[in-house]
Each structure stands twice: as C-alpha cells, then as structure tokens.
Amino acid sequence: MANKAYGWVGEIYWQYLPSWMPAWLRAWMASRTDNVNFGYLQTYMLMLGFRGTAAFHPTAQKIVDSVGVPEVVLYMSNAHGDSFEATVRDRGGTGDPSKLYSSDGNPNLATAMLLRQPVKFSFLMYCNSMKQTGYSTWSYVLRKNSTSGTVVVGITEGDTWPASRWITFHTHWATSFFSYVRMGLTFWEAYVKANRDMPDLEPYVVFNGDKTLTKDDLLT
C-alpha cells in the first residue's frame, strides 16, 4: 500500500477574537481563519507530492485512529496548543474544548504510535508545539525519540506573535521551506535556508530529528 499523508485543522477559539464583536461576527471570523489554515495545510502536502487526507475540525479520536495507520508517513496539524496538547474543537466557543494530547491525557497520539514506526515527517503549526521537545511531547512521541529517518518541525513562543508574523510564517517561511524540500534539499538544509531567508523567524521555528532526511525518503 502506498504511503499516505494525514493532516487536520482545529477550530479557533472564539475568545481569541476581539470581545467587542457580536457572537455571529466572531463565529464568521473564526471560520474564515480556519478555512485559510486548511488551505495552507493542503498546499504544503501538495508541495511534498502528497494529496493526502486533510480533515477539517475532526474529533480527537479520529486523529488518533488516522495516525495509527502505519502507511501515514506525513503528519500536519494547524491549531491552538502547546508541547503537550492541541485544541481540535472548541464546541462553538463555549469554553468546553475537545483536546488531543501528545501522551498524558485521552485521547493521545502516544496510543496511535504504539504499534507503528515513527512518522517520517511532521509539521506542527501551533503556538508552542515545540517549546519543549523532551519526554512525552509531540516531538518525542511522533519521532518515538528517534533521530533516524524521522523529523518534526514546529513552533515556539507563537503565543507572543503578532498576526503579521503568522502571515509571514505561512506566506514566506513555510513556502520557502517546502519549496527547498521539493527541490531535493534535505529537510534540515531547507530549514536552514528558510531561516536565512527570514531571519526574524529563526528563533521561533524548531527542527528535531534526522538531518539527512529528504522528501524522497517519505516514499520508501
């Protein structure tokens, strides 16, 4: 069976939008943001040669079930979160979020990873996805603590970014990064070059894993 990609976009918390907005406008703005993020995720998959499965506001359990499939070698997510949890759905801004956990919590990706090899490449697009990379974090779980044949790229201190930096990250840094990977550079080389192109973002984007891995390795 051919190798696969899986990615998902979570709901934006309504409370991150200005409190003066009426509820209907905040909901509309949140949905527009989610649609834009969904477009970025699909574009990045295509740049690596994968059509993949991109899920819009899935359940946390659906993510666990999908990542547990051994053929999934490319994993991407765009949500709110930190090094240990990510918001999948906020249930209409009620303050009762549905979360996905890296290891400690339920449901979690550590369960999905038990009977499979490390995910070859993961791209985690939320605030502090890689502020920490030690035991039980996203990076640790998706790589299964290996530095061979697996890479995770994520973000730190994203909760301090102005909106303009998030736009720059997607329209410039990530686009450059995946363009370099598509050209045949290793993920590490692409990471270094993207940082040189956008030095203001270098302190905030984190690489962990195999510095020799290429997109072609995702297909083998």
| H-helix segments, 54-204 | 60-67, 109-113, 138-143, 163-168, 175-182, 187-197
Q: What per-residue confidence (pLDDT) applies to 25? A: 76
The more confident residue out of 58 and 185 is 185
The more confident residue out of 84 and 220 is 84
Q: What per-residue confidence (pLDDT) applies to 116? A: 95
Nearest-angstrom CA–CA distance, 48 and 160: 29
Residue type at position 10: G
CB atoms within 10 A of CB 3: 15
Q: What per-residue confidence (pLDDT) applies to 96? A: 61
Q: What per-residue confidence (pLDDT) applies to 17? A: 66
Q: Per-residue pLDDT tens for 47-79?
A: 999 987 888 888 899 999 999 999 999 999 998
Q: Per-residue pLDDT tens for 6-57?
A: 999 987 665 566 677 777 777 777 777 787 888 889 999 999 999 878 888 8
Domains, the chain, ranges and CATH?
4-219 (3.40.50)
- Look up residue 215 and give its two tokens: 């997109």
The more confident residue out of 68 and 98 is 68
Question: Contact 86/55 with Cβ under 8 angstroms?
Answer: no
Q: Per-residue pLDDT tens for 162-171?
A: 888 988 998 8
